[in-house]
Structure formats: C-alpha cells, structure tokens
Amino acid sequence: MAEKSKGTAVIIERVKSGVPGLDEMMDGGFPKGNLVVLSGDPGSGKTVLCWQFMYEGISKYNENAVYVSLEENEETIYEGARQFGWDLQKYVKEGKLLIITVELYDFERLKAAIEDNVKTINAKRVVIDPGVIFRLFFDRELDARKRIVSLGKMLKLIGTTTIITNEISLDKLTSLYGLEEYVADGVILLYHTKIKNRFVRSIAVLKMRNTEITESLKPVKITNDGIKVLEKSELFDEVD
C-alpha cells in the first residue's frame, strides 16, 4: 500500500526517481504504485529518463525492474545506456532486470507477459517505451481505449510504480487513448524547445496524485551521468 497512517496524518510511501532534482518537484518522489505517463517531444530525453529510473532503482534502492521496449532491440538498449555508464546487461544477467521486446502486435499476450515477468523477479518498477506504438496494435480506437485502460488498471493492481512514455508534437499533447485522463496517477512533460537562439530542455509535473507538485517548468540538463533537473533555477535563467 502507498499510504501509512501515523496518528491522524497519512504518510505516502515514495519511490525515488533516480533523477537529481525531479523528486524535489513532487514532494520527495513518485507515490508508490503510481502509474505515470511521461510525455515529450522528440529528443527531449524520455528514454534516457526511463533508463535512469530503472538503473538507479536497481543499483541504489534494490528495486527490480521490467522494461517493455516497443521499438528498440536489446543490444540497442544496452549500447545507449552504456553511454551514461549504466550497465543494464549486467542486471539482466543477475535477474534484476527483464527486458521485453515486442515482435508480434498481440496486446493480450503483451499484457500477460508484463504481469508474468513482474511476478518472476518481484519487480517494483515497470517502464513501457514508447507507448505511442500501442497505436499499431489496434484497428479501432474504441478497442484501443478499452484495452489500454485495462492495461493501466492491471499495472496498478500488481502494485508496480510504472512509467509509460508518450510522444507529443511541438504544439499539442496527444492522449494515449484516455490513459492520462482515466487511469494515470501522474503526468510529466519533457520539452525540447527553441527559445531565443538556442534549444532548451525543460520538465514539468502536470499532475501527481497525493502529491504537492512544483507548478512551473524547470530546466533540464542531459550530462554524461544522465538527466539532471535544475529545480532551484527558473527556465529563462538558462537562456539569458
């Protein structure tokens, strides 16, 4: 359970993101068991943040993870993560990380595989990246909406803290068939936008259940060690 009572106060158990500065934007971390949609435009750092969430969760907090890659194969994932010093392959060999790569667009098999793999290694963290690929699983939007919402409910039922990524265009947020509105506990937005004569990365926590959030955009840096949120800075401080 994500809540504990202490006297009359309710204490929310928190899961650390592993991203410096991000937890400070959401009262100490994700509420345990939350389902979070991470939306961003191309190049904003969504996949890097997901790798960081898994790697730091395993290495620092002893929380096993399941990674559902709907686009990249395992070797591409390993190679990308190594650029930041994250040896994901090591944790796969140690049974602390399971990577699911999708070859057939069979949604019910995918859903069952996620649940089975979570139970196999007692995973506490799940990442599904990129969620926008779900659109290839269905011919009718109504079917997509019902089954993606059912996936969200299943993930919450098994108690994992989950990130599902979503692609947005530069001018609008495209919903994952209602997942954000009806099931997700939180929505985080990553931006990679042009301000003045340069591109600037930023992050915002749009919503997070049972959490006091920072309601302003904060600058983001992608370094050799991963993503860092400059939570004490304002966005436009970075472009002066």
Structure confidence by residue, pLDDT tens digits, 142-169: 887 888 888 989 999 999 999 999 887 6
Residue 3 lies in a domain: no
Specify if 129 maps to a domain. yes
Look at residue 5 and tell me if it is in a domain: no
Given a contact cutoff of 8 angstroms between Cβ atoms, the answer to whether 55 and 86 are in contact is yes
* pLDDT of 135 strictly over 80: no
**How do residues 171-226 score in pLDDT, each as one tens digit?**
555 666 667 777 889 999 999 877 777 888 999 999 999 999 998 999 999 999 99
Instruction: Please report whether residue 127 resides in a domain.
Output: yes
CATH of the domain at 220: 3.40.50.300
Whether 140 is covered by a domain: the verdict is yes
CB contact burial 142-178 (16+ within 10 A = b; e otherwise): eebbebbbebbebbbeeebbbbbbbbbeeeebeebbb
Q: Could you read off the pLDDT of 33-57 as tens digits, one per residue?
A: 999 999 998 889 999 999 999 999 9
- Residue 141 belongs to what domain range? 11-239
Residues 6+ apart with CB under 8 A from 119: 158
Specify the pLDDT at position 173.
Answer: 55
Asked whether residue 1 is assigned to any structural domain, the reply reads no
- Per the structure, the count of domains in the chain is 1
DSSP, collapsed to helix, strand or coil, labels residue 133 as helix
H/E stretch holding 204 reads strand 198-208
Considering the domain boundaries, does residue 153 fall inside one? Answer: yes
Among 150, 83, 161, 159, smallest CA distance to 128 is for: 161
The pLDDT assigned to 1 comes to 47
Query: Does residue 216 belong to any structural domain of this protein?
Result: yes
87-124 tens-digit pLDDT: 999 999 999 999 998 766 788 888 999 999 999 999 99
CA distance 131 to 38: 9
Give the chain's length.
240
Q: Where are the beta strands (DSSP E) in 28-108?
A: 30-31, 35-40, 65-69, 97-101
Rounded distance, CA 229 to CA 202, Å? 8
